[in-house]
Amino acid sequence: MLRMDTFEARVRTAALVEGTSYVLLLLGAMPLKYLAGMPLAVRVVGSLHGALFVWLMLLIAQGVFGRGRSLGWGTRIGVASLIPFGTYFLDRELREEDAAARARAAEVPADDGPGERR
């Protein structure tokens, strides 16, 4: 299931969606352009893929520069996004990171707000 409620979930979702758009570009739009004479397919899917790639790169930059993730973490995701099906191979690792972040968040007691202290 694709989620957007944690940073880790957003990275995982962006990676999967960007990876899917890349595969659609390579295996769907490019053959349509060159075999069926439909260059509009590449323009549409390529533009969508480009926007999704930028979204993923912005999330990686946020993770590295704003959330203390390592440069290796960002590089691994960035390189995987350049390889067809590459982000699919990272999905297990990204899913585990998301699960760990959710577990950490569940351990933090919620503030009941003013007037509801026990």
Report d(CA 52, CA 118) in Å as an integer.
Answer: 47
pTM reported for the whole predicted model:
0.85
pLDDT digits (tens, 9 = 90+) for 35-89: 999 999 999 999 999 999 999 999 999 999 999 999 999 999 999 999 999 999 9
CA atoms of 39 and 42, how far apart (whole Å): 6
Domain locations in the chain? 7-20+52-104
Please state, in angstroms and rounded to a whole number, the distance separating the CA atoms of residues 45 and 23: 10
**Distance, CA of 97 to CA of 73 (rounded, Å):** 11
